[in-house]
Amino acid sequence: MTTAHRTRIKICGLTREGDVDQAVEAGADAIGLVLYPRSPRYVSAERAGELARRLPPFVTPVLLFVNASPDEIAAGLTAVPGALLQFHGDELPEACAAPGRPYLRAARMTPGIDLLDLAYRHPGAAGLLLDAHVEGYGGGGKAFDWSLIPANVPCPVVLSGGLNPASVTDGVLRVRPWAVDVSSGVESSKGIKDAGLMRRFCEAVREADGRLTA
């Protein structure tokens, strides 16, 4: 008997209460809050707390940091105590582990990247989030070559980078990740989510899951 795998869904870069509510209604398992001041999707720690308090049980808030100081990370965790952390900059493994919280380590995918070595150097990571290599740190809406992903990554993989309702079904079928992550692919403008796109994105993921277990 085949056990169905349900691909988890993270919608990142939320900035408005209504978008949080609509992401949850669409079926998101997690929402991402960007605490990186140079991002157009930036929210302060206080604002992240306001948005996270709208979440029902079993929807996870994720705090995204880029080369943040320990004080900035601590402020985020004070505002959102139950958050999963996501490190999207050049943080060393010890910096990722220092807060003592579950975390995702983002990998900017380029030819020659050694994901097995990255996983080895981050044994405490809850998973690796695979994103395209763009100027800046994430949110560029660019896809990467999925053939760069080895089959034997020893921890959960979160597929990101240029996903949208039209491409995510193929991504789930080809990569079979633990989860998928989307930001610009469900936006009407930077930081402004589109309820219809979020709904169609989640539906496309469920369609892929159904095809894998048919």
Measured in degrees and rounded to the nearest 5, phi and psi for residue 195 equal: -60, -40
The answer to whether residue 12 is catalytic is yes
Is 80 in contact with 48 (CB distance < 8 Å)?
Answer: yes
Task: Name, in order, each residue with C-beta under 8 angstroms of 34's C-beta and a sequence gap of 6 or more.
Answer: 12, 13, 41, 42, 43, 64, 139
Is 98 in contact with 67 (CB distance < 8 Å)?
Answer: no
Which of the residues 19, 29, 131, 181 is marked catalytic? 131
Q: How far is the first Cα of the chain from the last one, in angstroms, to the nearest whole number?
A: 11
Q: How many CB atoms lie within 10 A of CB 18?
A: 12
By DSSP bridging, strand 187-189 and strand 192-193 are antiparallel
- The DSSP H or E segment spanning 207 is helix 195-213
Which of the residues 12, 96, 155, 202 is marked catalytic? 12
Question: Within 13 Å of residue 125, how many CA atoms lie on the same side as its CB?
Answer: 31
CA 81 → CA 66, 85, 125, distances in Å?
19, 11, 18
Q: Which residues are catalytic?
A: 12, 131
